[in-house]
Amino acid sequence: MAELRKIISDAERVTNNETIIEQHSQDLTYHSPYPPEVVVYPKDKNEVHQVITFAYQHNVPIVPFGVGSSVEGHVIPIHGGISLDMTLMDKIVDIRPQEFSVKVQPGVTREQLNRKLKSYGLFFPVDPGANASIGGMVATNASGTNAVRYGTMNNQVLGLEVVLADGSLMKTGGISAKSSAGYHLTNLFIGSEGTLGVFTEIILKLYGIPEKTVSAKAVFSTVEQASETAVNIISAGLSIGRIELVDEHTITAVNAYRDTNFAEKPTLFLEFSGMEHWIEKDVALGKSLIEDFDCIDFVFESDPLKRTELWEARHQAVFAIQAKYPGQKPMSTDVCVPISVLPEAIENARKTISDNGIEGAIFGHVGDGNYHVVFMVDPQSQEEIERAEKINHDIVRFAIKNGGTCTGEHGIGIGKIDYLQEEQGSAYHLMKVIKHAIDSKNILNPGKIFN
Amino acid sequence: MAELRKIISDAERVTNNETIIEQHSQDLTYHSPYPPEVVVYPKDKNEVHQVITFAYQHNVPIVPFGVGSSVEGHVIPIHGGISLDMTLMDKIVDIRPQEFSVKVQPGVTREQLNRKLKSYGLFFPVDPGANASIGGMVATNASGTNAVRYGTMNNQVLGLEVVLADGSLMKTGGISAKSSAGYHLTNLFIGSEGTLGVFTEIILKLYGIPEKTVSAKAVFSTVEQASETAVNIISAGLSIGRIELVDEHTITAVNAYRDTNFAEKPTLFLEFSGMEHWIEKDVALGKSLIEDFDCIDFVFESDPLKRTELWEARHQAVFAIQAKYPGQKPMSTDVCVPISVLPEAIENARKTISDNGIEGAIFGHVGDGNYHVVFMVDPQSQEEIERAEKINHDIVRFAIKNGGTCTGEHGIGIGKIDYLQEEQGSAYHLMKVIKHAIDSKNILNPGKIFN
C-alpha cells in the first residue's frame, strides 16, 4: 500500500477499508468470496499504467472490477492482490454521431451511455439486463436480449486502448468502421475476462434509435411450439429486435410473487422495431405466423409504459425466484445450443432441476439458442453448492453433446474452466499459449478462464 | 516432391507443371511474381495435416491458395515452398436452415454457395466482387458492397477447423449462434492471411433472402453532397443493403468504355432490401432525403435485369480503366476513413492521382468510409511501380492522419507491411508475439503481414 500510495497519493483511492474490501471480494452469485489485499481506484490511463507496472515488477495479481455484475466469479481475487476498480474512469470521451461511434472510458455504464446518446437519436444496443460497465461488458463478451438483432459485444467494438501485463499501453482498431489491418486484436481482448489486459478506452459502434417499437406476447401450449414459432418469425425477415421465451413454471412463480394471473404456459415475449411504416404489417404478419402454431393468446402494445407491463413476467422471472429464498445467492446456467435443439434442451433442463428438487426460472434468448436456468443456493451449504454444480454439469453436458457451448454470454470465470477444456479441446491449449505469450507472469486476473 | 508424393500419390495433385507453377506465382495485381517449388492440391483435412506436418519437419514454407483473387500479393510464395491449392476441397458439408448456418470446405466459392442456398431461401451476404473462395474471404477478412448492412467476414464466421503450423488439427467456435467460451480464436484467424493456420472447414452464418430488393441511383453536383446524403440515409434507419459512391471522372471513363451517356457527376448507387411492404415507402423517404441535398437525378428500379443495368456504371468502373491499358496490371488502394472525412479523402485522392498524371477509377463503400482508387501499372516498369507506390503512400498517409486505416478489406499481404507498423504501433508488436507463439518456425505464408 505504501508503494501504491506513491503512485496515487489520494488515500481514499488506495484502500483496505473493510467494507470496500468485502465489496470487492465477491460477485452477485454463490461463488465463494476471497478478499483482495487492496482496492485501487485509478482516475486515468497513466495511473493504470503505473499500478500495473508496479504489480508486474512485484508479481502482484491485478483483478479489474467494474460494477461487479458478472456471474462467474470473474471479479473475485482468488489469489489476492489488487482489485482495480475502474468506476472512476467513467467519462464519455467522444461522441461521433456522423460515424455512429463513441469513445468511452471503461467505467461508463450502459444506462449512463444511453442516457447521454438519446439526444443524438442514437443508442448502444447490447443489453445484458444489469446496468453493467462497458469495460465489464467488453471483458465478458456480454450480449442479452438484443443480440438476435444486433449481435454480441464481439460485433460492437471498433477499438480498444489496453494496458498490458507489463504496464505498457497499446491501442487496437480505431475509429474507422472496418479494417483488415493485421490480426483482430480487438476481438482477442473482447471476452478475455481481464486475463490479457486492462481497458482504458473503448470505441463502440452506435445505432439509430428505431422510429417505432412495439412489444408483443404470445402464449403457447408447449415450449416446442413457442421455439418453432420463434425460428419462423426470424426466418420471415420481420423487424424483430428481441424475442424471449419463458417457460410455464417460471410464469407460475411470477404469478405467486406478484399476485398476477398470467397464463401459466410457455410464453414468447417479442419486440418489433424499425421504421413506423414497417411495424404495423410486421406485427400482423408475426401474428399470423404465431397463429399457425396454435398460439393460445397474442397481445401487442406500442405505448412505452404498457410495453413494459407486457414484458413484466419476463423481467420478474429472476426476482420471483430470488424473493422466495432470502439470504441465498443465485446461480445461473448459461448454455447456448443450436436453435433446433432448444425445445429439447429446455425440457431436459426443467426435468434436471425438478429431479433435484429445485425451483428455478428458465428463460431463453430463443433467437440465438442461449437460455438460463436460475435458481437459489445457500452459499454456506456445501451440499447445496454441490447439487447446484451437478445441475449445471448435466445441463452443460447436454449442450456440449448437442453441438452447443457451456457459456453463451456469461463467460468462463472460475465456474466453467473444466467445461471450457472439454468443449474447446486443442483450442483450449492454444488459448493458454496466447495467455502465456501476452502475460507470462500470469498477474492479470489469475485463475480465471485457466487454472 | 518425392516425399510429398508419398503423402498424395496422385501425380496431378503434387505438381511442378510449368503452367500451374506460373499460375500460383502471382495474383491479379502489379505485385512481382515468385514461383512456388511445388503446387499441392489436398482433397481432405487429413492430407492437409500430412502436408503441413511434412513442411513443419523440413522448414518448408506453406502458402495457401484459393482462387487467387486477393490483391496484396497474399498468394505469392515470395520464399518459395509449397503453394497449397485448396480448390479441390469444395464441398458444402452441412446446411442447417433452421440455425441459419452452413459448414463448408475452404475451396467453396461465394457464388457456388449462394446458388446452393437459394432453394432454402437463404444467402451468404459478404460480396467482395470477385467470385472468391470462402477460405480466402476468411483469410483476408473480406467485405465489399454489402458490409453496410451485414458487416465483414469478421462478423460472419461461427467456427473454424484449422491445421496449425505443426500439422495439428484444431477447432474453434462451433454451430451455436454465440459463445463466450474463452478467447475468440475464430476472430484471431479471420484476417490472418494464411500466417497462423490453414482452414479445412468453415462454419458461416446465413441470412434469409430479402423479400424485395430495389435498386436506385442518385446523381449529385459534388462528392461532398453525395457522401452527406449517404450518411443521412443510413441514419434514417431505412432498409439500405448497399450504398456506393462513384466519382465523376470514373463515370466519364465508363461512358468512353461502354459508349454510354451517364451523367458525368458524382453518383450514389443504392440498394434497398427487406419486406415488400417496407420498401416502397423507404424508397420514397430515401428520395426525399436525397432531394434535400440537391440531387440532380434520381431513378429506382425493382426488376432484376433493369436493376443490374442501373448499377452498370458501378460494375464497369474497374473494367473501364483496365480496358484502356492492355498488358498492364491493376493496383487498388484500400484505405478506410471515418465517414465524415470521406468527401475530403476522395477529393484528396483524385488530386493525388491527377498530379501524378494517372487515370484511375475511384469508388467508395460510402456506408463505411472504405474507398478504392484503381489504376493500371506496367509491372515491368520500375518507374511506374514506384509512382504507384508513391500514390498509395500519399493516400494511406492521409487516411492514417485522419484516424483511418491503410486497409479496409484487402488486407496487408506484402503491399502494406510498413503501413501496418505505422498505423498499429505497439499492437503490431503484439501481433508478432502472437505469430511467433503460434508459428515459431515461420513456415505459414512467411513474409506476409510481417517482414
Looking at domain A212-317, its CATH architecture is: 2-Layer Sandwich (3.30)
- Residue extent(s) of CATH 3.30.70.2740 domains in chain A: 325-436
Question: Residue B152 has what pLDDT?
Answer: 96
> With 90 as the cut, is the pLDDT of residue A234 above it?
no
State which residues of chain B have pLDDT below 50. Answer: none
Tell the residue number behind the cell numbers 452452413, with chain if given: B102
Contact call for residues A10 and A88 (beta carbons, < 8 A): no
- Nearest chain A Cα distance for residue B405, angstroms: 6
Average the pLDDT over A170-190 and give the result: 96
Question: Who wins on pLDDT, A185 or B308?
Answer: A185
Is the Cβ pair B403, A434 closer than 8 Å? Answer: no
CATH class of domain segment(s) A325-436: alpha beta
Contact call for residues A251 and A223 (beta carbons, < 8 A): no
Is the Cβ pair A424, B141 closer than 8 Å? Answer: no
Contact call for residues B329 and B388 (beta carbons, < 8 A): no
Average the pLDDT over A89-109 and give the result: 97
- Residue extent(s) of CATH 3.30.70.2740 domains in chain B: 325-410
Amino acid (1-letter code) at residue A173: G
Q: Kindly report, residue by residue over A303-355, the tens digit of the pLDDT.
A: 989 998 899 899 899 899 999 899 999 999 999 999 999 999 999 999 999 99
Fold of B325-410: Alpha-Beta Plaits (3.30.70)
Question: Residue A52 has what pLDDT?
Answer: 98
Q: What percent of chain A has pLDDT over 70?
A: 100
Helix (H, G, I), strand (E, B) or coil at A273: strand
In sequence order, the β-bridge partners of residue B85 are: B65
User: A185 to chain B: which residues are within 8 Å by CB?
Assistant: 427, 430-431
pLDDT band at A294 (very low <50, low <70, confident <90, very high): confident
Q: Kindly report, residue by residue over B333-387, the tens digit of the pLDDT.
A: 999 999 999 999 999 999 999 999 999 999 999 889 999 999 999 999 999 999 9
Helix (H, G, I), strand (E, B) or coil at B113: helix
DSSP letter (8 states) at residue A128: -
d(Cα B360, Cα B320) in Å, to the nearest integer?
Answer: 9
> With 90 as the cut, is the pLDDT of residue A231 above it?
no
Helix (H, G, I), strand (E, B) or coil at A33: coil
In sequence order, the β-bridge partners of residue B133 are: B109
pLDDT band at A111 (very low <50, low <70, confident <90, very high): very high
- Residue extent(s) of CATH 3.30.43.10 domains in chain B: 2-87
Treating both helix axes as pointing N-terminal to C-terminal, what angle do B223-235 and B276-291 enclose, rounded to 10 degrees? Answer: 140
d(Cα B68, Cα B403) in Å, to the nearest integer?
Answer: 31
d(Cα A95, Cα A97) in Å, to the nearest integer?
Answer: 6
Q: Kindly report, residue by residue over B97-153, the tens digit of the pLDDT.
A: 989 999 999 999 999 999 999 999 999 999 999 999 999 999 999 999 999 999 999
d(Cα A23, Cα A77) in Å, to the nearest integer?
Answer: 11
Of all helices (H) and strands (E), which one includes residue B426? helix B426-438
Question: Residue A292 has what pLDDT?
Answer: 85
Query: Across the interface, which of A177, A282, A367 has its CB nearest the CB of B369?
Result: A177
Is the Cβ pair B337, A176 closer than 8 Å? Answer: yes
Is the Cβ pair A438, B431 closer than 8 Å? Answer: no
- Residue extent(s) of CATH 3.30.465.10 domains in chain A: 92-208
d(Cα B159, Cα B291) in Å, to the nearest integer?
Answer: 44
The Cα diameter of chain A in Å comes to 69
DSSP letter (8 states) at residue B449: S
DSSP letter (8 states) at residue A71: S
Is the Cβ pair A182, B370 closer than 8 Å? Answer: no
Question: Residue A37 has what pLDDT?
Answer: 98
User: B243 to chain A: which residues are within 8 Å by CB?
Assistant: none
Looking at domain A92-208, its CATH architecture is: 2-Layer Sandwich (3.30)
DSSP-H helix ranges across A208-341:
223-235, 248-258, 276-291, 304-310, 312-324
Kindly report which listed range (A74-88, A420-434, B56-70, B298-312) carries the lowest average pLDDT score. Answer: B298-312
Q: Alpha carbon B413 to chain centroid distance?
A: 12
Q: Kindly report, residue by residue over A24-67, the tens digit of the pLDDT.
A: 999 989 999 999 999 999 999 999 999 999 999 999 999 999 99
Average the pLDDT over A387-403 and give the result: 96
In a 13 Å sphere around the CA of A58, the CA atoms on its Cβ side amount to 13
| Cβ contacts of A65 within 8 Å, gap of 6 or more | A24, A39, A75, A83, A84, A85, A86, A87
Tell the residue number behind the cell numbers 436460475, with chain if given: A374
Fold of A2-87: 3.30.43
Question: Residue A232 has what pLDDT?
Answer: 87
Is the Cβ pair B275, A275 closer than 8 Å? Answer: no
- Residue extent(s) of CATH 3.30.70.2190 domains in chain A: 212-317
Is the Cβ pair A190, B177 closer than 8 Å? Answer: no
The mean pLDDT of chain A is 95
Beta strands A82-85 and A38-40 are: parallel
Closest CA to B190 of A439, A173, A188: A188
User: B176 to chain A: which residues are within 8 Å by CB?
Assistant: 336-338, 368-370, 399, 403-405, 408
DSSP letter (8 states) at residue B415: T
User: B191 to chain A: which residues are within 8 Å by CB?
Assistant: 180, 182-184
Closest CA to B139 of B450, B451, B402, B449: B449
Question: Residue B403 has what pLDDT?
Answer: 94
> With 90 as the cut, is the pLDDT of residue A15 above it?
yes
User: A236 to chain B: which residues are within 8 Å by CB?
Assistant: 208
Q: Which of A49, A179, A336 to probe the B interface (max B CBs under 10 A)?
A: A179
Helix (H, G, I), strand (E, B) or coil at B299: strand
- Nearest chain A Cα distance for residue B121, angstroms: 9
